[in-house]
Amino acid sequence: MREQLQSEAQHDSAVAASEAAHVEVLSASLEDYLKAILRLERASQAVRASEIAEQLEVSRPSVTGALKTLAARGLVVHAPYGHVALTEEGVVIAEEVERRHVAIRDFLTRVLGVPEEKAETTACRLEHVLEPDVLAHFVRYAAKHA
């Protein structure tokens, strides 16, 4: 807080093709929403706002608000009273967050020996705070010291 975190989203690999390259600096909260939607899309076919609310332990109106913001940024599509779906760009970002999450979690468990569950919840927070280049160090190290 107070410093601009998030850096200039570095869609390193697959993105290149995406349209705007708006830089899209998302808050930790909005990243969480994207991640939750991604996961729900895998599990159920049609994602409902209430599922998101449940997953994130947030009220339904909070979800409505977040979806509005995400829709405005073109990361999500949702007809009022209808289902929710990530746009292509939304998927890219959500997967990026997911990727960071997994990388951090794995580092914590495999390298440091942090218990599974603790690693999971910790990764949920670190994923919004570690800049890509620093994360790269974690990944490289884990690869060597499997």
For binding to a second copy (CB under 8 A), which residues are involved? 1-3, 5, 28-29, 32, 56-58, 108, 111-114, 118, 121-122, 124-126, 129-131, 133-134, 137-138, 141
- Note whether 27 binds DNA by CB under 7 A: yes
Backbone angles phi, psi at 53, to 5 degrees: -55, -45
Q: Stretches 42-50, 87-95, 111-119, 129-137: which one binds DNA (CB under 7 A)?
A: 42-50
Closest distance between DNA and the C-beta of residue 73, in Å? 11
Nearest C-alpha neighbor of 35 from the set 82, 80, 83, 102: 102
Q: At what angle do helices 28-43 and 49-56 cross, to 10 degrees?
A: 120
- Token pair in block for residue 108: 């914590």
Type of residue numbered 138: F
Degrees, nearest 5: CA angle 37-41-46:
105
Closest distance between a second copy and the C-beta of residue 45, in Å? 27
Q: Stretches 8-16, 60-68, 95-103, 131-139: which one binds DNA (CB under 7 A)?
A: 60-68
Among 9, 15, 58, 124, binds DNA (CB under 7 A): 58
Q: What is the DSSP letter of 78?
A: E
Identity of the residue, 7 or 50, whose beta carbon is nearer to DNA in the bound complex: 50
Cα 134 from chain centre: 17
Query: For the window 77-96, what string marks contact with DNA as x by the rule CB under 7 A?
Result: -x-xxx--------------
- Token pair in block for residue 106: 């794995």
Identify what 125 binds: a second copy, DNA, none; CB under 5 to 8 Å per kind: a second copy
